[in-house]
Chains A and B, each alone.
Chain A
Amino acid sequence: MNALAAIGRFTLGGVYHLGRCGVFLCTMLAVISHAWRRFALVVRQLYFAGVMTLLITLVAGLFVGMVLSLQGYYTLVNYGGESALGLLVALSLTRELGPVLAAVLFTGRAGSAITAEIGLMKATDQLAAMEMMATDPVARVVVPRFVAGVLAVPILTLLFNVVGVLGGYYVGTVQLGVDSGVYWASMQNGVDVFEDIGNGIIKSFVFGFVVSWIMVFEGCDTEPTAEGISRATTRTVVVGSLSVLGLDYILTALMYGGIS
């Protein structure tokens, strides 16, 4: 009986949390026009979030491209297919790894920081003070961070892809001896701007939206104590990363027809 009650409580709690999350999104979208009116703030946040995540994204992209190239080569060479190495690296990156990993890295680096920042602003009454100064904290604090997040993830994804392709190029041609012209040509022939790169960008926009939503919601929903902030930060990373992976499957299935 106790276990049943616990399941019920857990479910109710989850639904309640989701509901608040949805209401929060609506209140945020209602004042989203402030992103234009306060564009300087968006740029500032874009700078912070982007710069914060840039280094980690570039390094990760480089290594992911290098590993892809290495693994891909040893599989392809068995079939004499090493000429398709460039295509393999580019498609893996633009379709899947770029959007997913850039979004996960953004969540871990910038997402957790922004949740903690908003949570701390709440705990030190800064949000309440803004409200008492007749300024809507959602418009002033939350919307610029949210919009900056939505914009930053696709940009980081593109950079991740570029660096990954270059890393793959280095390992494939310089170290493993694939002809450099073949590496680029297979990529040029096989990668479609809309089908592959375009879908990857759409994915990264969706990931950016969801991750940014989660990070600002958790920040505003923080219980204003030290433990509350640490819990909210952890939740941003866990829920954000899992959402990205789950959504990736759904989006891939929708875009490339994985489910028949």
Chain B
Amino acid sequence: MPHSPHNPARPADTLVSVDNVSFGYGPRTILSGLDMQITRGSVVVVMGPSGCGKSTLLGLIGGRLAASEGRVFFDGGDVAALRRRELFALRKRMGMLFQSSALLTDLSVFDNVAFPLREHCGLPESLVRNLVLMKLHMVGLRGARDLRPAELSGGMARRVALARAIALDPELILYDEPFAGLDPVSLGVTLKLIRELNDALRLTSVVVTHDVDEGCRIADYMYLLGRGTIIGHGAPQEMLHSGDPEVAQFMQGMPDGPVPFHYPAPDYRAELLDAGGARS
């Protein structure tokens, strides 16, 4: 793969580096001036309120979206500069877990996990079978291999999607809201899997979430997004005890603070009186 210009500021053990990235749909800016370094082997949690551009960030790292300014490097190569074929080669080195699990509904659990193997590896079917069973065993669902996606609970579907994401033994896994909508047991299982898979398979994980407790439990390093930019970063303990009012508001979950409770609106009293006057 022809490498694009290397990022000079990149330390050797950085797998993904986000370099002054801005992104917007049309005139609407979603992200501006983002800088991130994701170290090999770590679990990096990106937190922020809903709609602050966390999922967009995963789109940028995966090359599904192109930054309007700045660059995203994966293992030294500029993701946006790749041609389609090179991008697809790169994506074989990363797995992604979607919030909706995104299992292919016309295939069984087994065939879903086998999908990337059959698409890319050209392995004999007996080997595919063993690999799929190994991946399913890691997430504890070897016995569920003949079920259809519609028969799975939300937590099980997410574990199958995780097995599928690690099918090609990627270097990086992107998790989009892995904790959303899970019952406590499934939540515990998911937390355990993210941490254990990361350490056992020597992966690098980027977890996007707005759940502070879960995020803090698995993170090696955290970034907090707000207003389309990074408002704080550090180890979980530093973040929890941060003096920055914006960071503190999010980490403690306070309803009012630098992020106001009220959506911007005209003066309350004036509006009520106006409306009354107009109606009568």
Residues of A within 8 A of B (CB): 121, 124-126, 128-136, 140
Contacts and interface: CB of A to CB of B under 8 A. Distances in A.
A35 B178 CA distance: 36
B116 A133 contact: yes
Nearest to A133: B116
A125 B88 contact: no
Contact of A133 (B89, B99, B115): B115
A74 to B, nearest CB: 50
Contact of B64 (A121, A131, A133, A135): A131
A110 B148 CA distance: 23
Interface of B: 62, 64, 88-89, 91-92, 94-96, 98-100, 102-105, 115-116, 119-120, 161, 164, 168
B105 A132 contact: no
A133 B119 contact: yes
Contacts of A135: 115-116, 119
Contacts of A130: 104
21 contacts: A121-B104, A124-B102, A126-B102, A126-B103, A126-B105, A128-B102, A129-B102, A129-B103, A130-B104, A132-B91, A132-B95, A133-B91, A133-B115, A133-B164, A133-B168, A134-B91, A134-B92, A134-B116, A134-B119, A134-B120, A136-B88
Smallest CB-CB A-B distances: 5 pairs: A129-B102, A125-B102, A134-B88, A134-B91, A132-B96
Given A133-B115, A134-B119, 10 more contacts: A121-B104, A121-B105, A125-B102, A129-B103, A130-B104, A132-B64, A133-B91, A133-B164, A133-B168, A134-B89
A121 B105 CA distance: 8
A126 B100 CA distance: 9
A132 B104 CA distance: 13
A144 to B, nearest CB: 12
A125 B119 contact: no
A148 to B, nearest CB: 14
Contacts of A140: 119
A237 B91 CA distance: 37
B98 A129 contact: yes
A131 B164 CA distance: 13
B115 A128 contact: no
A161 B18 CA distance: 62
Given A132-B64, A134-B92, A125 B98 contact: yes
Contacts of B64: 128, 131-132
A171 to B, nearest CB: 43
A119 to B, nearest CB: 13
Nearest to B90: A134
A132 B96 CA distance: 7
A126 B115 CA distance: 12
A130 B96 CA distance: 10
Given A121-B105, A134-B119, A128 B98 contact: yes
A149 to B, nearest CB: 17
A15 to B, nearest CB: 19
Nearest to A44: B106
A136 B103 CA distance: 16
Contacts of A133: 91, 115-116, 119, 164, 168
B94 A132 contact: yes
A41 to B, nearest CB: 10
Contacts of A131: 64, 91
Contacts of B94: 132
A131 B119 CA distance: 12
